[in-house]
Amino acid sequence: MEFTKMHGCGNDYIYVNGFTEEVPARKKPELVRRLSDRHFGIGGDGVIFINRSSQADFEMEMYNADGSRAEMCGNGIRCVAKYVYDKSLTDKKSVSVVSSGKIKYLDLLIKNGVVDAVKVNMGSPILKATDIPVISENEEVISETIEVEGNVYEMTCVSMGNPHAVVFMEDVENLDIEKIGPYFENHVRFPKRVNTEFVKVIDRNTVQMRVWERGTGETLACGTGACATVVACILNGLTEEKVTVKLLGGELHIRWDQAENLVYMTGPAETVFEGEIKI
């Protein structure tokens, strides 16, 4: 099977052309776990199959490193756009990509004949607790307390097609995320588990973020998490609507257009290497 290793701000996935590579659905979870292993496989935060679609220009079929399905990945979908353009699967500079039934619209920024960066219309943030989902007595979870392993945190919950809990704190660099991340991910209040963003507000237009992604662990970046973070910042009155999110793997530029109620994300997409592996 041929593959391409790509990343967006260090959030790396293995990309497979579903037009030419046929993998039975029942075999994908096990294959994903093997390919994602950084010691015995290719190594990555998961695997993304790029397929034909009757709903959009392309389908993104995404798996976490543990073999579980994921609904959306902001960094991953930018790399899908780069893949299909650079591989001449399309010559359009604006494309649509469907993932788990939700369509996103992407504008490709071309440099020297290849995609350098991508702007994604990530759609409207979901704030209703039951739709995220998060268990709460309130309709929306904004600056609500949660007890995790004996400590009390304040979280704001947002879905960008997948569930996020955003927690603000003064020091994210020294956070023992490997310890606390799994407890958030598997907390009883999150029926479908959760991605958790630990965020420090630097100024009205800049934040620093680390993320624990369900099914993967800490990643160098999370596009949907960056979007959810900016929405949470604005809901709590902490930033303006245009924010640079500083991640371990780079920077993403996020804007929540509140008049349209749409979140836009702009960031890089990089090809690392290509190869083939026996499956």
74 among annotated binding-site residues: yes
186 assigned ligand-binding residue? no
Active-site position among 9, 79, 157, 222: 222
Beta-ladder partners of 208: 200, 246
Local structure of 215: helix, strand or coil:
coil
Write down the catalytic residue from 73, 79, 227, 233: 73
261 assigned to a ligand binding site: no
**223 carries a ligand binding annotation:** yes
9 is catalytic: no
Q: Please, which contacts does 149-153 make with residues 24 or more away whose CB atoms are closer than 8 Å?
A: 149/180, 149/183
Q: Which of 92, 32, 44 is nearest to 68 (CA)?
A: 32
214 annotated as a binding-site residue: yes
Beta strands 163-168 and 206-213 are unpaired
- Measured at the CA of 59, the angle between CA 53 and CA 64, to 5 degrees, comes to 150
> 11 among the known binding-site residues?
yes
Peptide bond preceding 133 in cis form (omega within 30 of 0): yes
Q: Known catalytic residue: 222?
A: yes
3-state SS assignment for residue 272: strand
Q: Cβ of 51: how many Cβ atoms within 10 Å?
A: 15
- Confirm whether residue 75 is marked as ligand binding: yes
The reply to whether 213 sits in an annotated binding site is: yes
Residues forming the active site = 73, 222
Binding residues for substrate: 11, 64, 74-75, 162, 195, 213-214, 223-224
Binding residues: 11, 64, 74-75, 162, 195, 213-214, 223-224
